[in-house]
Chains A and B, each alone.
Chain A
Amino acid sequence: MKLGKVMGTVVSTISHPIYDGRALLMCDLLDEKGEDAGGYLICVDAVEAGPGDTVLILDEGNGARQVVGDPSGPVRAVVVGIVDQLTVDGETIEVG
């Protein structure tokens, strides 16, 4: 799983049916200290996250398909949590 920050949304009218009615979030990837790690993922939202939120991203197909409830959906990245706090090397960072 990865940490990310929701930086925006992606709107698509013509898409695979699995994406119908689901929000797509553009998430920049973060390192373990909550800082920008470079790179991004487009994720399906499963927890009603929004821009500015630090989130937990599942980037693995089997789990993602389980979350969207379709065993044959072409989905790989899903936002599955909104992060409030990180503690790394004894240092606590509030990110909420």
Chain B
Amino acid sequence: MMQLAEVTGTVVATIKYEGLEGVRFLIVQPLDRDGEPDGRQVVAADAVEMAGPGELVYMVASREAALAMPVPFVPVDHAIVGIVDQVARQ
């Protein structure tokens, strides 16, 4: 699944599984095609290392999320892979 989301918050975790050291975790609200909230908020790893609350991002879910991280195959199921500048929709 690759979809849009809005960053709503941050997560601080001191003790993390091996490979997750230094990974930033953000709370995101997945968005539907109209930019409205779609489902529950989830925690996503920030693979671009620049996203922050209030920003519109796109994320990849499932196993592909782990591939976005510096150390591949870490236990991550949502990863932010881009900060959105513009969505042009018909």
> CB within 8 Å of B: which residues of A?
7-16, 18-19, 24, 26, 28, 39-43, 51-52, 59, 61, 64-65, 72-77
Contacts and interface: CB of A to CB of B under 8 A. Distances in A.
12 contacts: A7-B33, A13-B83, A14-B83, A15-B81, A19-B81, A40-B33, A41-B1, A42-B3, A74-B60, A74-B68, A74-B81, A76-B60
B79 A15 contact: no
Given A15-B58, A42-B58, 8 more contacts: A9-B88, A10-B58, A12-B83, A12-B85, A26-B89, A40-B33, A72-B72, A74-B81
Interface of B: 1-4, 32-33, 47-48, 50, 58, 60-68, 72, 79, 81-90
